[in-house]
C-alpha cells in the first residue's frame, strides 16, 4: 500500500504535524483518522465533525469523496485542517 507523507497545519492547536496517509484513502477518512489522533493526543473537546482539509498551496477545499491521489496530492504536500 502506497503512503503519502503530508504536513498538516492545525490552527486549532497551533501546531503542524507530519502524517503518513494511505494514498488511496478518501479525504473524509483522512479527516476522521487525523481528528481521532488529535483528540486522543491532545484531549480536544467539542465538535470535530465540522472540519475541512485544504491544500495550503492553492487554498482549495479537498473534496471528501475523493482520495488524495485523485486530487493530485503528492508526497510532501502541505495541508490545512480547519
- Locate the domains of the chain by residue range: 3-81
Contact 52, 61 (CB under 8 A): yes
| pTM for this predicted structure | 0.89
Class of 3-81 in CATH: alpha beta
If you ran DSSP here, which 8-state letter would residue 25 be given? S
Tens digit of each residue's pLDDT, the chain (82 residues): 899 999 999 998 999 999 999 999 999 999 999 998 988 898 876 666 789 999 999 999 999 999 999 999 999 999 999 9
Half-sphere exposure of 25 (CA within 13 A, CB side): 19
Amino acid at each position: 500500500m502506497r503512503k503519502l507523507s503530508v504536513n498538516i497545519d492545525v490552527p486549532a492547536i497551533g501546531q503542524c504535524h507530519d502524517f503518513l496517509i494511505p494514498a488511496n484513502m478518501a479525504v473524509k477518512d483522512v479527516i476522521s483518522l487525523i481528528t481521532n489522533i488529535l483528540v486522543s493526543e491532545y484531549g480536544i473537546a467539542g465538535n470535530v465533525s465540522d472540519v475541512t482539509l485544504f491544500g495550503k498551496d492553492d487554498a482549495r477545499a479537498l473534496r471528501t469523496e475523493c482520495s488524495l491521489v485523485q486530487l493530485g496530492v503528492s508526497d510532501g504536500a502541505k495541508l490545512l485542517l480547519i
